[in-house]
Amino acid sequence: MGHSHDQDAGNIRRVQAALALTGTFMVVEVVGGILSGSLALLADAGHMLTDSMALALAVFAFRVSSKPADGRRSYGYQRVQIIAAFVNGLSLLAIVGWILFEAVIRLIDPPEVLGSTMLMVATAGLLVNIASFIVLHGGDQDNLNIRGAALHVLGDLLGSVAAIIAAFVIIRTGWMPIDPILSVVVTMLILRSAWQLVKRSAHILLEGAPEWLDVDDMQAKIIAAVPEVSEIHHVHVWGLTPQHLMLTMHVVLPESVSEPTPVVRQVKSVLRSEFAIDHSTIEAEYGDCADH
């Protein structure tokens, strides 16, 4: 769960490259969708429009989050990345809703679709989306901002595959309903991932504890490693991002410990080595809790 400015710089470069690819081809796909009359292409173009906005938001979030802490934002601006991931997840859910609505209309009254035009544009789109996905997949996958951007591009990639299959069916058989049917299949494939992104980012925004952390186990390991600690309470664990965890806790010490600082240092060492929690605030107490 380490973090570095070099890692963020690499993430920014990857997102910018994906943005350039996606934004450029989006215009081509809009034109192709209009000329061919394909919902699959227009749906994919809609994905790409939202993806371009999502990728631009991701770049903005990375740049803002690198700003140092100040008097008004004592923890800095890293949480902007989580806000961007949350917005990206919601936009994916909105796209799913729009495509489902449009698909129902087209199933009731299927329009004429030009299969050959659809096939050419969708094939080119697939190549662009594969390139963008490879670029983003090489980034930090623990970073929700990167994951949100990659999920948008994955939706595009699947949309291009669906459009290619639909184009082949239309060229061979002339069966137009395949276009909206495959559009619905693609939306179902990305729906679960989009919901997971919204759920995880909302959990962090609500100051939830990391999903992988067992707080009782953490307390037991601290007491076992630091014999001077007899009790732990008022434990709060949260994260600015999944990579930047924060913790506060009260530890109870016996009266025989006259200097609590060495004990607090030991507790912090356990938190760093065992749980990758680098920022912790430990309150040492003797007897009754000060908050009582």
CATH of the domain at 87: 1.20.1510.10
Number of CB atoms found within 10 A of residue 34's CB: 13
Asked whether 125 and 156 are in contact (CB, 8 A), the reply is yes
Residue 245 is part of a domain; what is its CATH number? 3.30.70.1350
Nearest CA-CA partner of 48 in 86, 92, 82, 17: 92
Specify whether 201 is located in the same domain as 225.
no
pLDDT at 18: 83
Specify whether 109 is located in the same domain as 244.
no
**Alpha-carbon distance 184 to 28, whole Å?**
22
Specify whether 198 is located in the same domain as 221.
no
Domain that holds residue 147: 5-205
Specify whether 167 is located in the same domain as 114.
yes
**Alpha-carbon distance 80 to 192, whole Å?**
23
At which residue do the structure tokens 């050419």 appear?
120
pLDDT at 220: 94
Q: Domain count of the chain?
A: 2
Question: pTM value?
Answer: 0.74
Number of CB atoms found within 10 A of residue 227's CB: 10
Q: Is residue 263 part of a domain?
A: yes
Q: Is residue 25 part of a domain?
A: yes
pLDDT at 19: 83
Q: Is residue 153 part of a domain?
A: yes
Q: Is residue 267 part of a domain?
A: yes
Radius of gyration (C-alpha) of the chain in whole angstroms: 25
At which residue do the structure tokens 């949260």 appear?
238
Specify whether 97 is located in the same domain as 134.
yes
Task: Report residues of the chain scoring pLDDT below 50.
Answer: 1-3
Specify whether 88 is located in the same domain as 147.
yes
Nearest CA-CA partner of 282 in 270, 267, 272: 267
Nearest CA-CA partner of 18 in 46, 71, 57: 57
Chain-centre distance for alpha carbon 54: 11
Specify whether 53 is located in the same domain as 152.
yes
SS3 213: coil
Specify whether 151 is located in the same domain as 107.
yes
Specify whether 153 is located in the same domain as 229.
no
Specify whether 234 is located in the same domain as 187.
no
pLDDT at 158: 82
Last residue of a domain, which of 146, 171, 205? 205
At which residue do the structure tokens 């060229």 appear?
171
Q: Whole-number mean pLDDT of the chain? A: 83
Residue range 139-151, pLDDT digits in tens = 666 677 787 778 8
Q: Is residue 291 part of a domain?
A: no
Residue range 148-197, pLDDT digits in tens = 778 878 877 887 888 889 889 989 998 888 888 888 887 887 787 788 88
Nearest CA-CA partner of 203 in 124, 89, 288: 89
Specify whether 78 is located in the same domain as 143.
yes
Asked whether 190 and 158 are in contact (CB, 8 A), the reply is yes
Specify whether 30 is located in the same domain as 152.
yes
